[in-house]
């Protein structure tokens, strides 16, 4: 396949970026999107052009690093995949593909397509944990019986890889899907219930301070999330937050 | 906490005020539809609503507050949200993952707000004037005539119809969405969604029907 790529180039966080156009030939439909980017970068280097910076790590859909906004959608046109899992067969010969970084005030661009998602880390640090005594005789988690239904829901929430596609997709750049997944994965389990009140209050507070937008229930996040995190989690977080606020 | 200090608080406030306005709409519709069936009944109920002190001095101010709150909050949210992404995407496929209604609540809201302006001018201002400024004598039979009179002009009927289409679009997303905001997303959600969609289509259509009915008669 021969493709035209329109890519956001920005030298550093201070500089003003712009879209650049590149041509790429002989792209195999079996390549992943990131492999195509690798080929493009090799081509750029031989031409003496600075290669395009983009985030990636595992390249198998588990780390959440690959963060491109492709043709107007986070992680491109496919569903339930990250960019590294997106194949070039989803595109056609002659296509023009627009590639931009995830955009949100809370995710500033570092360079080209890489963005700083440490806002998520800070939200996580504000309450996304359970306090356990790590003295060496910590109780085995499996010793506490847990309703299968709850365990499954907690597991589903825990599959969130913190990629930020939900924020990138949301017209309001809201982080509700991510934060609600992180709240839910604990609050559904007995170990997490102990700190449930503080957790939801602190994580939501941090989320707001980071400058994410307000959720208006468009549901776009759920559609674009590579892990299929459900809006049910957002409803659960709303409930928990209301309850926690009333409790004081 | 103050309700509107956090993003979730604001979201719940939007939902509660929205539900309150939906209840009001239902009440308003129930009265208006009477005008199709019986002139006398419509006059009687309107007279009661217009002169009952609880309705006039307690419910009406609450309603005005609800409307103001909902739309001011809507603008505040829109403003904050537009600030959360400073550099816009050059290509953004909103329709790939969310409905038009959910993405354009601010625009459907603005149309409804403009309609409310017209509606106040048409009915509320003359009504207030009649009762509290000029203090004209009570006339329990004037309401039906006033209603029908307003629907003479085809232009006005067209504006009413168009506004109610936007109200319908606003409600299709907003009504169901308010349940999600209040944390209700469970096995009943499908039923809730069907009910809210039904309501959002039928009630605005009903209002359009009433306007057309009086216009054509
Ligand atoms: S909720 Fe989904 S889209 Fe959002 S960060 Fe987690 S995995 Fe990514
Ligand atoms: S590189 Fe790890 S999810 Fe894509």
Give the CATH number of the domain where residue A141 resides. 1.10.1060.10
- B96 pLDDT exceeds 60? yes
The token pair that represents B89 in the structure block: 């995407």
Q: For residue A150, what are the contacts with CB-CB under 8 A and spacing of at least 6?
A: A188, A189
* A241 and A129 share one domain: yes
| CATH number of the domain within which A45 lies | 3.10.20.30
- A167 pLDDT exceeds 60? yes
Q: Is the Cβ pair B98, A242 closer than 8 Å?
A: no
- Give me the domain span that covers residue A54: 3-111
Of A104, A107, A56, A114, residue with least CA distance to A82 = A56
pLDDT tens for A84-101 read 999 999 999 999 999 999
Mean pLDDT across the stretch B56-67? 94
Q: Is the Cβ pair B185, A215 closer than 8 Å?
A: no
Mean pLDDT across the stretch A127-140? 86
Q: Residue A42 and residue A25: Cα distance in Å, rounded?
A: 13
* A143 and A26 share one domain: no
* A158 and A223 share one domain: yes
* Of B11, B90, B182, Cβ closest to residue A215: B11
pLDDT tens for B18-50 read 999 999 999 999 999 999 999 999 999 999 999
Q: In Å, what is the CA distance from B18 to each residue of A141, B13, B175?
A: 43, 8, 7
Boundary residue ending a domain (A111, A139, A164): A111
- A235 pLDDT exceeds 90? yes
* A49 and A166 share one domain: no
* A199 and A227 share one domain: yes
- Which of A177, A180, A220 to probe ligand 1 with, by most ligand atoms within 8 A of CB? A177
Mean pLDDT across the stretch A151-161? 97
Does the predicted TM-score (pTM) go above 0.80? yes
**At residue A21, what are phi and psi to the nearest 5 degrees?**
-110, 130
The per-residue pLDDT for A135 is 83
List strand residue ranges (DSSP E) for A143-235, in order.
none
* A141 and A69 share one domain: no
Cβ contacts of B10 on chain A, cutoff 8 Å:
214
Of A105, A233, A225, A87, residue with least CA distance to A166 = A225
* A20 and A102 share one domain: yes
Q: Is the Cβ pair A72, B180 closer than 8 Å?
A: no
**At residue A5, what are phi and psi to the nearest 5 degrees?**
-115, 130
**At residue B20, what are phi and psi to the nearest 5 degrees?**
-60, -45
Mean pLDDT across the stretch B176-198? 96
* A229 and A178 share one domain: yes
Please, what are the domains in chain B?
A: 2-85+97-216 (1.20.1300.10)
Of A223, A220, A1, residue with least CA distance to A91 = A1
Q: Residue A123 and residue A102: Cα distance in Å, rounded?
A: 18
The per-residue pLDDT for B123 is 85
* A141 and A162 share one domain: yes
- A188 pLDDT exceeds 90? yes
Boundary residue ending a domain (A76, A111, A146): A111
Tell me if B132 sits within 8 A of B60, measured CB to CB.
Answer: no
Q: What is the distance in angstroms between the Cα of A133 and the nearest Cα belonging to chain B?
A: 32
* A136 and A165 share one domain: yes
Bridging pattern class, strands A18-24 and A3-9? antiparallel
* A62 and A163 share one domain: no
DSSP state of A187: H
* A100 and A176 share one domain: no
Boundary residue ending a domain (A90, A111, A132): A111
Q: Is the Cβ pair A172, B185 closer than 8 Å?
A: no
The verdict on A58 touching B (C-beta cutoff 8 Å) is: no
Percentage of chain B surpassing pLDDT 90?
85
- A35 pLDDT exceeds 60? yes
Total of domains in chain A: 2
- Which of A37, A38, A60 to probe ligand 2 with, by most ligand atoms within 8 A of CB? A60
């Amino acid at each position: 396949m021969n493709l035209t790529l329109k890519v956001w180039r920005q030298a550093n966080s201070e500089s003003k970026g712009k879209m650049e156009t590149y041509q790429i030939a002989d792209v195999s439909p079996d390549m992943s999107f990131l492999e195509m980017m690798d080929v493009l970068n090799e081509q750029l280097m031989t031409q003496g052009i600075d290669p395009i910076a983009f985030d990636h790590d595992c390249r198998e859909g588990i780390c959440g690093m690959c963060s491109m906004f492709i043709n107007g959608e986070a992680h491109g046109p496919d569903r339930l995949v990250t960019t590294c899992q997106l194949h070039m067969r989803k595109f056609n010969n002659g296509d023009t593909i627009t590639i931009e970084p995830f955009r949100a005030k809370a995710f500033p661009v570092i360079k080209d397509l890489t963005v700083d998602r440490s806002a998520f880390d800070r939200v996580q640090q504000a309450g996304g944990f359970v306090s356990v005594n790590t003295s060496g005789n910590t109780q085995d988690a499996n010793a506490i019986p847990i309703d299968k239904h709850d365990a499954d829901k907690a597991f589903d929430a825990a599959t969130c890889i913190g990629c930020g596609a939900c924020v990138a997709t949301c017209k309001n750049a809201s982080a509700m899907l991510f934060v609600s997944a992180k709240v839910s994965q604990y609050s559904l389990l007995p170990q997490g219930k102990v700190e449930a009140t503080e957790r939801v209050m602190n994580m939501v507070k941090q989320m707001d301070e980071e400058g994410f937008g307000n959720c208006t229930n468009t549901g776009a996040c759920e559609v674009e999330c590579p892990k299929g995190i459900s809006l049910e989690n957002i409803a659960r977080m709303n409930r928990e937050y209301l309850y926690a606020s009333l409790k004081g | 906490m103050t309700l509107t200090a956090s993003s979730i608080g604001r979201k719940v406030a939007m939902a509660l005020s929205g539900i309150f306005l939906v209840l009001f709409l239902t009440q308003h519709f129930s009265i208006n539809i009477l005008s199709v069936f019986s002139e006398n009944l419509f006059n009687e109920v309107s007279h009661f609503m217009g002169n009952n002190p609880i309705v006039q001095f307690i419910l009406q101010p609450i309603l005005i507050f609800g409307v103001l709150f909902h739309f001011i909050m809507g603008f505040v949210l829109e403003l904050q949200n537009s600030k959360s992404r400073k550099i816009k995407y050059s290509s953004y496929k909103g329709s790939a993952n969310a409905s038009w209604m959910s993405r354009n609540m601010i625009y459907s809201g603005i149309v409804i707000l403009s309609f409310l302006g017209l509606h106040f001018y048409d009915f509320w201002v003359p009504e207030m004037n009649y009762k509290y400024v000029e203090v004209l004598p009570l006339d329990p039979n004037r309401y039906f005539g006033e209603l029908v009179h307003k629907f003479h002009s085809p232009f006005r009927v067209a504006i009413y119809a168009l506004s109610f289409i936007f109200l319908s679009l606003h409600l299709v997303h907003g009504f169901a969405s308010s349940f999600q905001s209040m944390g209700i997303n469970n096995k009943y959600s499908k039923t809730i969604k069907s009910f809210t969609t039904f309501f959002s289509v039928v009630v605005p259509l009903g209002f359009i029907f009433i306007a057309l009915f009086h216009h054509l008669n």
